[in-house]
Amino acid sequence: MAEENHPKEIKVKVTFPASPKHPYEDEDSREKTVGTVLAAAMLHFEVHDDAQFSYVLSYEGERQDPATTIGSLAGHREEIKFTLIKVITSG
């Protein structure tokens, strides 16, 4: 199966330009979910959901379901880059 040829670990990078902090970077299992990466990135950038906003990870312009595994998004790639997006729920 092609899936078995993928490296077990994948480099993850999350950028968030509204923060002065460096991007969140880690090496994670391909089975890790987007939701787990999102939680770690939000902790890194010191942001949290509230009544006005929620945060999502965007990959290639598409907001990602927290249940999706990062391996399924990355395919054969050894690195995956997300953008942390502040989604406005008010107004």
Contacts to other proteins by CB under 8 A: 16-21, 50, 52-53, 58, 60-63, 83, 85-88, 90-91
Beta strands in the chain (DSSP E): 9-15, 24-29, 53-59, 62-63, 79-88
| Minimum CB distance to other proteins, residue 9 (Å) | 26
Q: Residue 40 or 85: which CB sits closer to other proteins?
A: 85
| Minimum CB distance to other proteins, residue 62 (Å) | 7
Expressed in percent and rounded to 5, the helix, strand and coil fractions of the chain are: 25, 35, 40
Exposure string of 15-31, with b = 16+ CB inside 10 Å and e = fewer, is: bbeeeeeebbeeebebe
| Minimum CB distance to other proteins, residue 46 (Å) | 11
